[in-house]
Structure 1
Amino acid sequence: MLKGKKILLGVTGSIAAYKAAFLVRLLIKAGADVQVIMTEAAKGFITPLTLATLSRHPVLTSFTNSETGSWNNHVELGLWADAIIIAPATAKTISGFATGYSDDLLTAVYLSARCPVFIAPAMDLDMYRHPSTKNNIDTLAGYGNIFINPGFGELASGLIGDGRLAEPEVILTTLEKHFSVKSTALGKRVLITAGPTVEPLDPVRFISNRSSGKMGYALARAFAYAGAQVTLISGPVDLTIADINLHIIQVETAEQMLTAVQHYFEGSDLIIFAAAVADYTPRYVASQKIKKSMPEMELELKKTADIAGTMGKIKKDHQLVIGFALETENEKENAADKLARKNFDYIVLNSLNDSGAGFAHDTNKISVIDKKLNIQEFSLKSKKEVADDILEIILKKWSES
Structure 2
Amino acid sequence: MKVSFPYMGSAIVYKKLFEFLEHEVIMPPKPTQRTMDLGVKYSPEFACIPLKMVMGTYLEAIEKGAKVLVTSGGHGPCRAGFYGDTHRNILKSLGYDDVELIIFDAPQDNWKAFFRNVQKIRNGVPWHKVINRMYTLYRFVQKLDELEKMVQKIRPYEVNKGQTTQVWNQIQEKFDKIKTRKELYRVYEECKQMLLSIPTRKVEEKDIIRVGIVGEIYVVMESSINFGIEEILGNLGVEVERSLYLFEWINDNLVPWILRPKRFKEIIKKGQRYIKILIGGHAVETVGHIIDFKERGFDGIVHLMPFACLPELVTQSLIPKISKEVDIPILSLPIDEQTGKANMLTRIEAFVDLLKNRKKGETKEVFIDNIQEHVQEERVVMV
Q: Does TM, scored on the shorter chain, surpass 0.5?
A: no
Which protein has the bigger helix share? Answer: 2
Which protein has the bigger strand share? Answer: 1
The structure whose Rg is larger is 1
Query: TM-score w.r.t. structure 2 length?
Result: 0.29
